[in-house]
Structure 1
């Protein structure tokens, strides 16, 4: 592997990534959610820039939509794009988390949540994982029809169903994602035996070493820079803010 472009703390991940999201047009609230998703990915020992940069790019290039509509029936709640585009996971993920947070436990135990035509499905799993509220199985099919699942628990641990050689950063697909509540014992069920584990305790090690970001970091940084206000002669004289030019 190449040398990292930069090493950041969790707080710095939150700072840079949330503002990068604002740089591509996400509202402040969704940008904060994106920052938390990125920290969760980083705490798992993964490169958040590699996994999230394409989702930001898809919004920036108007390939994915932030507009959605929601319907509900006896067995599931359905979220779908209200435009003729795929729905951004950066909108769908926080929407799923709102549903989890506001529903009674008894309701979520028998009712699924289905998000339609999602661009980067793993980011919905990351949003649910970052919420740390209950035990959830998040399932979808990739662009080749290969079934993928992520299992999260209320303690911050999670598992993935696919082989470790399968690159998460390449998981793009206009696909449906199903989110369903599972019992805590499901984590040790036959279905999930031998699957790759990501434990919350790994976070302590990463706190010590920092989060290493590689060749996709410049993409995040370029979006972050859009939030900076260019300095002018007048602003430098008045001492207003921290612009693109540091005069300290």
Structure 2
């Protein structure tokens, strides 16, 4: 199965909406998924794994309180998309001390937001987690080790050296089961809304205007 980056982005956006995320974050997540896929990361697997893990959990329980240098989610598991959006909004505030993110699901999904931060501050940004990490200047990516399903800590700091950059791709080849998972979430957007569906999923209680 081979898909263009446009198809990856569109499907990711629909899957995010089907999972209950608001439009703004769904759009940011879709662009992040495309960025990862373009940098030779199995972005569809990362997104499908995240949505499966947090399905039915309100977004408020997955989002950080972006104050201080240590961020955590009230529900115990931090969504990398919500955390990434908050990080990119505060790129100018990133200091040498960095920001610590606790109990992060699918930390690879933070990488595109680190790329946005790097573009804003004009220098690379480094992410470190147990067993791996990443350095990006916004255009290229150096990924080391492995990216787990859940990591107890991610450290985000300015600076870093890019050694071996990942290849740049124009298409992605997700596994059939991964693509099927994303489309199952996406198909929720086609069904008539019910009171149960409105109350279920990440972002429950949010409107499109939030």
TM above 0.5: yes
Looking at structure 1, the residues matched to 30 and 152 of structure 2 have their Cα atoms a distance apart, in angstroms, of 24
Any gaps of 5 or more consecutive residues in structure 1?
231-248
Task: Name the structure 2 match of 1:225.
Answer: 187
1:27 maps to what in 2?
Answer: 22
* TM-score relative to the length of structure 2: 0.79
Aligned-residue RMSD, C-alpha: 2.3
Residues 63 and 83, structure 2, Cα contact 8 Å, conserved in 1: no
- Which of these residues, 128, 132, 138, is aligned with residue 139 of structure 1? 128
**Consecutive unaligned residues in structure 2, runs of 5 or more:** 193-210
2:202 corresponds in structure 1 to none
Per-residue Cα deviation, 1:65-97 (whole angstroms, up to 9, x for no partner) = 32332322xxxx2221123x2111121111111
8 Å Cα contact 1:119-1:172 kept in structure 2: yes
Q: Distance in 2 between matches of 1:177 and 1:221?
A: 29
Deviations 1:191-248 (A, max 9, x none): x5xxx4215xx24xx2xxx322222100001101111146xxxxxxxxxxxxxxxxxx
Structure 2 residue 20 is the aligned partner of structure 1 residue 14: no
Q: What is the CA–CA distance in structure 1 between the aligned matches of 2:116 and 2:182, rounded to whole Å?
A: 20
Q: What pairs with 1:28-107 in structure 2 (closer than 5 Å)?
A: 28-62=23-57, 65-72=61-68, 77-83=69-75, 85-100=76-91, 103=92
Match of 1:213 in 2: 174
Aligned to 2:115: 129
CA distance in 2, matches of 1:31, 1:38: 10
Runs of 4+ residues deviating >6 angstroms? none
CA contact 2:88–2:116 (8 Å) conserved in 1? no
- The aligned length equals 187
- Higher relative contact order (Cα pairs below 8 Å, separated by 6+ residues): 2
Q: Secondary structure at the match of 1:197?
A: coil
Q: Tell me the SS of whatever aligns to 1:128.
A: helix
| Superposition TM-score, scaled by structure 1 size | 0.68
Offset at residue 126 of structure 1 (A): 3.2
Q: CA deviation at 1:153?
A: 1.0
- Is the alpha carbon distance of 1:175 and 1:63 closer, same or farther for their aligned partners in structure 2, counting shifts above 3 Å? farther
Aligned position for 1:173 = 150
Q: Is the 8 A contact 1:23 1:227 kept in 2?
A: yes
